Structure 1
């Protein structure tokens, strides 16, 4: 079946690489997997072998029909649920308020007491998800940032995420202590994306996937990346909204010193005191700070702040 360029489709057919992705996701038999963009189901097949259940979200109607035919047995057994729609439209934790039709699998598990569950909604269908579900996918490059933001910032985030993304993006996320994650890799500077992800969990690099492993062949190499131990511990004493307003302000003008980018929150002298308290140089720029530095700054800058944080 021909890939749709408009959907950013690049299919993986190398069984060895598909197995590496499934293994890297670290799925246990009791896990529920939410798969993004299953395509023809090559990875889906491996995820089904490793998990309790797979819920596959597919935007391409052609692929939805193919998956339903290919995995009719697994669907009847309640091992697989195929939902047509755009993953970016997925609503987590709210559909009980919406007049949606519950799928068979959702109804069947409604009375299950094995694990805590919540409802998700997409395309007027609702389905239940274990609260510790795993998110996996060979995703289109163009939705990478938006999908990370949606999943990590949701009311019910996954316990881990494993994606195939553009190699350069994976290396940007893995940046640590101002050094490149891999030889000849990224410059080592932090970004809004890398800090945003590290605020929620620990990223792990799974290795490069050459462009030739995909059909059609993309212009760049890809890489596997996982975000483990996802939680919101960093936001116990500060709201996510406030943290990200401060983070965005810090990165707003990359050439400026950070202390100047943050002057909307407090007077310069007060910011200098905060920097001293956190052992942060007044000459530093946003890209030089770790996620721990940012959490510290957010906690300090929100104190007695009289401005208006957007809700």
Structure 2
């Protein structure tokens, strides 16, 4: 089977074609001979080959059955030796535990279809066994939003930063892909992954309810945005002051530590506002 696949637009496929970029991703992620690497969406395997040259083991999850067949032929020796495990499936449904991956015991590298970014981050930061770090190819504008463009936060940046420390490593021009996308990309490192900052599950649910409501209307002041959660604007103002947040402030200017303080203080007052599973699931 040749490499002349047509990219499926429905899967958001843009194949990385630059070996130099692939090697730089491996270097940036500090992949070593002791690492187990989970690769999401290996595509034609250009990054897979660079990972296999360094890592102890690579587990690659690919949704497209055409590419799975191609990769089986391309990396037959590595598969036979056990250095590469190739799994056909959806990375959003993949359970790291099924491959005996432990919390913090593997690194995650991915060239993601842009349309699954939010679900992917939520999945591997808060819903399943967490990696020690992630090196992700993302749309450049999305990468900037995650790290906090111009010092301003977004619901996406807060949702990532509460579990980790994100940083942009380097930019990737659209010409490094085939077919070339209409926008440039960036490699973002998500490091220091930890789910302990929010503590108990109830605090996590309240945290995400608060930021979802707070970012609901960017031009409104916080007390007005949060009033529906607290029953009145006055109650919202009291909760904000308790967390050392100005009621007249804007959501984009509030730090992670302040949001965490507000969520934790809210859990101390039973019945302050309801928590529903549906609302708390929409993190990013």
TM-score, length-scaled by structure 1 = 0.82
Distance 2:267 2:225 in 1: 15
Aligned counterpart, 1:165 = 138
Moved more, 267-276 or 156-165: 267-276
Q: Deviations over 1:213-260 (max 9, x none)?
A: 111010000000010010112122553222111111111222221112
Alpha carbons 2:102, 2:129 under 8 Å: kept = no
Q: Deviations over 1:60-82 (max 9, x none)?
A: 11110111111111111111100
Aligned counterpart, 2:207 = 243
In structure 2, which of residues 226, 238, 247 is the aligned counterpart of residue 262 of structure 1?
Answer: 226
Aligned counterpart, 1:154 = 127
Distance 1:241 1:24 in 2: 33
Distance 2:231 2:130 in 1: 32
Aligned counterpart, 1:309 = 275
Shift of 1:267: 4.8
Q: Deviations over 1:259-301 (max 9, x none)?
A: 1222223654444344334432221111111111111111122
Aligned counterpart, 1:8 = 12
1:1-311 equivalences under 5 Å are 1-92=5-96, 119-120=97-98, 127-131=99-103, 132-175=105-148, 180=150, 188-237=151-200, 239-263=203-227, 264-265=229-230, 267-306=232-271, 307-311=273-277
Aligned counterpart, 1:109 = none
- Structural RMSD (CA): 1.7
Shift of 1:193: 0.6
Alpha carbons 1:202, 1:230 under 8 Å: kept = yes
Distance 1:58 1:201 in 2: 26
Structure 2, unaligned runs of 5 or more: 278-284
Alpha carbons 1:55, 1:80 under 8 Å: kept = yes
Distance 1:276 1:83 in 2: 50
Distance 1:229 1:198 in 2: 10
Aligned counterpart, 2:282 = none
Alpha carbons 2:155, 2:211 under 8 Å: kept = yes
Structure 2 residue matching 1:299: 3-state secondary structure:
helix
TM-score, length-scaled by structure 2 = 0.89
Aligned residue pair count = 269
Task: Give the direction of change, closer, same or farther, for the CA distance of 1:239–1:90 in structure 2 (3 Å limit).
Answer: farther
Shift of 1:18: 1.0
Structure 1, unaligned runs of 5 or more: 93-118, 121-126, 181-187
Distance 1:246 1:235 in 2: 13
Compare the two structures and name the one with the higher helix fraction.
2
Distance 2:107 2:231 in 1: 40
